[in-house]
Amino acid sequence: MIASTSTLLLGSAFAAYFASAFLYLLHLRVRRPFVLRGAVVLVATAFVLQTFILGQRWLAAGYLPVTNLFATLFFFSWALAATYLYFELRYRIHAAGLFVIFLNLLLLAGALPRDPAIPPLIPALDTPLFTLHIAFSFLGYAFFAMAFSLGVLYLLQRRLASDLLPDPGLLRKLNEEAIFLGFCLFTLCMIMGSIWAYVAWGYYFSWNIKGVWSFLVWLFYAGMCHAKFVRRWQGTGYAILSIAGFGVVLFTYLGIGLLLQSNHPLD
């Protein structure tokens, strides 16, 4: 019952994101405020639907269900929508969110054909440290995805100087904010993960490839948090780093999880 309701609601959320992407694209031709407002309302609606599904699945499972590829894609998508809404409500970034919505559609398109059944929880995952580790991890990833989107838009805006997009100064500021918040959240993810690894395995850093690349993600964004103070790396350099950084994130999350053997299998 829960699975079928979830699938229906998830389909509705996907449709709402799809429609919002359409409205954002429409706004490129029809520059009316109600088109933009409609797009934001649709994103908010999809986010509410996803939050409801997440809550329902959490209640049914008794734990935050993020233990397979369907659940992690769904949770990543939810975190990304939350991040987008944060920037939209705080800075009115409007069409600057289009990239994020496309990314969200990709994540949901990846989740939809998969089995939404919630697997039984193995004792190793039955700890609040797991919940915190996962939640901070995907919230961090979502901010890094937002930074990627803002970086791409910054580079575009430098070439196009379009009045549809925020000015490069604001995009730069938002990019720095996304990186900083993503780094803070990812640091919390690493701390929770390390403590959990220590109590579960007896050591807090693993030389498994997933552990190594998670550390690389942290080190890369730590470097970026410093690079914003160097004039040469501001603006274009920072945008390029944001794009490269998200490549590292994607490899760490999907590349290692799906292509290589690691201690964080996705399926």
Partner 1 sequence: MNRSMFLNKTWKLLCSLKLAIVLASAATLLIMGGSLLIPFNPRVFSHMDAVALGDWLRTAGAAQPALTWWVFAAGALMLLLGLNTLCCFLDWARNLRARWRKSGEYLIHLGFILVLAAYVWGSLAGFRSEGDRIFVGEVREIAALPGYYLRLDAFEPQLGASGRPVDMLNTVTLLHGDRVLSQEVVKTNTPLTRGGLIVVPSSFGRQPAGFNFFIAGRGAVSLAVGSQFELGGGRMLRVIDFIPDASRRSDGQAVYLGDELGDPAIQLELLQSDREPWRGWYFLRGEIPYPLVAAGVRLWPTEPLYRVFSVLTVNYDPGAPLAMVGATAMLAGVLLAAVSFYYKRGRGDRPEVV
Q: Which stretch binds partner 1 (CB under 8 A): 10-18, 32-40, 100-108, 212-220?
A: 212-220
The helix (H) or strand (E) run that includes residue 125 is none
Number of residues that bind partner 1 (CB under 8 A): 48
Query: For partner 1, which residue of 124, 160, 161, 258 counts as binding (CB under 8 A)?
Result: 124
Residue with tokens 């918040």: 181
* Residue 131 in the binding site for partner 1 (CB under 8 A): no
Please answer whether residues 178 and 150 qualify as being in contact, where contact means their C-beta atoms are separated by less than 8 angstroms. yes
Q: What is the spatial distance between Cα 8 and Cα 31, in angstroms, rounded to a whole number?
A: 33
Residue 49 C-beta: closest distance to partner 1, Å: 29
Q: Which of 131, 208, 235, 236 binds partner 1 (CB under 8 A)?
A: 208
Cα 135 to Cα 56, 75, 152, 189, 223, distances in angstroms: 17, 8, 26, 8, 23
Q: Say which DSSP state 230 is in.
A: S
Write down the least CB distance from residue 148 to partner 1, Å.
17
Determine the interface stretch with partner 1 among 71-79, 101-109, 147-155, 221-229 (rule: CB under 8 A): 221-229
How open is the CA angle 90-93-96, to the nearest 5 degrees? 145
Residues 138-177 that bind partner 1 (CB under 8 A): 177
Which residue reads 């004792």 in tokens? Answer: 123
Helices 33-61, 2-29: axis angle to 10 degrees equals 160
Among 187, 237, 254, 257, binds partner 1 (CB under 8 A): 187
131 in Cβ contact with 64 (< 8 Å) = yes
62 binds partner 1 (CB under 8 A): no
Please select the residue that binds partner 1; options are 196, 238, 246, 253, rule is CB under 8 A.
196
How far apart (Å, rounded) are the C-alpha atoms in residues 186 and 168? 26
Please select the residue that binds partner 1; options are 2, 44, 200, 240, rule is CB under 8 A: 200
The residue range among 28-36, 101-109, 158-166, 204-212 that interacts with partner 1, by the rule CB under 8 A, is: 204-212
The type of residue at 81 is A
Instruction: Tell me the window of 12-20, 32-40, 159-167, 217-225 that interacts with partner 1 (CB under 8 A).
Output: 217-225
Query: Coil, strand, or helix at residue 118?
Result: coil
List the one residue from 51, 215, 257, 266 that touches partner 1 (CB under 8 A).
Answer: 215
- The binder of partner 1 chosen from 105, 205, 240, 250 (CB under 8 A): 205
